[in-house]
Amino acid sequence: MIGEIAYRKEEEKEEEVEEKMMSAQRKYTAAMVGGGFPPAMKVVVVGYALTSKKIKSFLQPKFERLARNKGILFVAIDQSRPLSDQGPFDIVLHKLSGKEWRRVLEDYRNAHPEVTVLDPPDAIQQVYNRQSMLQDVADLNLSDPYGTVGVPKQLVIEKDPSSIHRAVNKAGLRLPLVAKPLVAKSHELSLAYDEFSLQKLEPPLVLQEFINHGGVLFKVYIVGEAIKVVRRFSLPDVSNANYQRVWVYRFLECLVLLHLLTKHTRSLCCELPPRPLLERLARELRRRLGLRLFNLDIIREHGSRDRYYVIDINYFPGYGKMPEYEHIFTDFLLSLVKSK
């Protein structure tokens, strides 16, 4: 990768000139980095610790090229070496799992408060668990002239599938229910249409009331203060006609079915949620969650003009699918350094 090679060269040269420089300035200059950056351009060094899947979807060549032109250099973090021995970085982008890695990041944040770590590991943990994921949206209880934003009624089942039926009745949840694994990184989703199917589910999971929403979902991508909304196909509404039988099925199978059913009969129409409502929601959640890189899955209740539900929050989602992400993301990275 061009960025890595350039960076290694820079490290070697840095040793040579270190004595002369005697500067606390951590920014890289073109002279230090070598080819690629115009002379005297301050280079923002972004260390990244991402899975190979994420690197492929996020660090696309067009994005890296644009970043380079704006003076941003992406450098792969080597997990086998101490973080403090690498860099120096201006920003660290990460999405890796494991307790040990979280500890490494926390130690690094404490030792290097001058580096912006996106985002704090503890804050990310909150949205990795579906029990706590939507808590801030519920607490916010947003309601203004543009609409209301809530969360579906939900219940956590830790274990014992035979107790689900009783727990559902006690909590007053109405069927059908969406069952999602408690750990948000797992994407297997089931629909339970009646009491019989409840005992077939495998805890630990979260049960959520299914909300009819016309088969359209809004993905709201958030990058710092920027937001971008796109429409996506979603699960079709549940009616008497399509749930006379008991169905518990995997989400993938469901998506194939959905795709076949809707391909020629539907287009992604309908109005986006009002911008001021989304801006307020994003602003509040950024602050409450302590995150800058996430997206929200939002649905509008069928038959309502302004009743919205947040059903999912994803940390560092698939930005490669967000229109204009290259410009939005690079501007965001530069703004972080500027604001320091």
Binding residues for ligand I3S, rule: CB under 6 A, are 53-54, 57-58, 95, 219, 295, 314, 317-318, 320-321
Tell me how far, at minimum, the Cβ of 326 lies from ligand ATP, in Å.
22
264 labeled binding residue:
no
Q: E strands, the chain, where?
A: 44-50, 72-76, 91-95, 116-118, 142-144, 147-150, 154-157, 177-181, 190-192, 205-209, 216-223, 226-233, 293-300, 307-315
Whether the CA torsion 7, 9, 10, 15 is positive or negative: it is positive
Residue 313 as a binder of ligand ATP (CB under 6 A): the answer is: no
Give the range of 33-41, 97-105, 211-219, 276-284 binding ligand ATP by CB under 6 A: 211-219
Tell me how far, at minimum, the Cβ of 17 lies from ligand ATP, in Å.
46
Query: Which amino acid is residue 177, in one-letter code?
Result: L
Beta-bridge partner residues of 117: 92
Residue listed under structure tokens 């996106």: 118
209 labeled binding residue:
yes
Contact with Mg ion (CB under 5 A) among 312, 319, 326, 330: 312
DSSP code of residue 172: T
At 150, list the tokens: 């809530």
Residue 126 as a binder of ligand ATP (CB under 6 A): the answer is: no
242 labeled binding residue:
no
175 labeled binding residue:
no
Window 61 to 120, contacts with ligand ATP (CB under 6 A): none
54 labeled binding residue:
yes
Instruction: Give the residue from 295, 293, 154, 145 showing the smallest Cα distance to 224.
Output: 293
Residue listed under structure tokens 């971008």: 228
Window 277 to 306, contacts with Mg ion (CB under 5 A): 297
321 binding partner (options Mg ion, ligand I3S, ligand ATP, none; Cβ < 5 to 8 Å by kind): ligand I3S
Kindly write out the interface string for residues 268-297 of this chain, putting x where it contacts ligand ATP by CB under 6 A and - elsewhere: -----------------------------x
Residue 311 as a binder of ligand ATP (CB under 6 A): the answer is: yes
Q: How many other β-carbons are positioned within 10 Å of the β-carbon of residue 290? A: 14
Q: Provide Rg for the chain, Cα atoms.
A: 23
Interface residue list for Mg ion (CB under 5 A) = 297, 312, 314
Binding site, by residue number, is 54, 95, 130, 180, 187, 208-219, 234, 297, 312, 314, 318
